Amino acid sequence: MNTRKRSGREPLSKALQLRIFKRDGWLCCWCKKPVIFAPVMKYLELELRNAGNREPLAYYHAHWTRNTSPLLDELGAVLDHKEAFVTGGADTEENLCTACAKCNGRKSSAPLDRWNQREKRSPIKGKYGEPQHWDGLSSVFVMLAKRNPDRLTAGEREWLKALGAAKP
């Protein structure tokens, strides 16, 4: 979640965020690229450290910068407003959609009609159809988080709970 853009507003609940990621199949609603549940990258890195890997790794950084976490800089999952909040778009499920970090950065608070006219990443279209079972690696997060209960931050514990509760 891009917290910088949400300053001054009620944070969206993790359960709501997950509902929207799942509804959208963990695909960016603008470019249709598969997005990644960011906390998993931190635990993948931790898994490697636990296995004795001491190499520098660019898996996870809280700021999702290209040099420190290139995958999240591109594909980190965030929520976007279809109609920007500052121009009156609401925090409703209908006005929210899953976005990759790159599209989210491009969109900022441009009104939808103006943003739609801008050059943007062309949507990917699968020759054999769209992925039906992509989960943003959220299941890997659940597995690794359960392995490292003492390392979980309060926020990550909430994610784990919300992911568990969101399972069918």
Positions that interact with Zn ion (CB under 5 A):
28, 30-31, 100, 103
- If the CB atoms of residues 77 and 100 are measured against Zn ion, the closer one turns out to be 100
Q: How far is the CB of 143 from Zn ion (least distance, A)?
A: 26
Q: How far is the CB of 33 from Zn ion (least distance, A)?
A: 5
- If the CB atoms of residues 40 and 103 are measured against Zn ion, the closer one turns out to be 103
- If the CB atoms of residues 14 and 33 are measured against Zn ion, the closer one turns out to be 33
User: How far apart, in whole angstroms, are the C-alpha atoms of residue 168 and residue 153?
Assistant: 25
Residue of 14, 1, 3 lying closest to 159 (CA atoms): 14
- If the CB atoms of residues 40 and 100 are measured against Zn ion, the closer one turns out to be 100
Q: What is the DSSP letter of 92?
A: S
Q: How far is the CB of 156 from Zn ion (least distance, A)?
A: 24
> Token digits for 77?
């999952």
User: How far apart, in whole angstroms, are the C-alpha atoms of residue 119 and residue 100?
Assistant: 16
Q: How far is the CB of 103 from Zn ion (least distance, A)?
A: 3
Residue of 119, 118, 92, 97 lying closest to 26 (CA atoms): 97
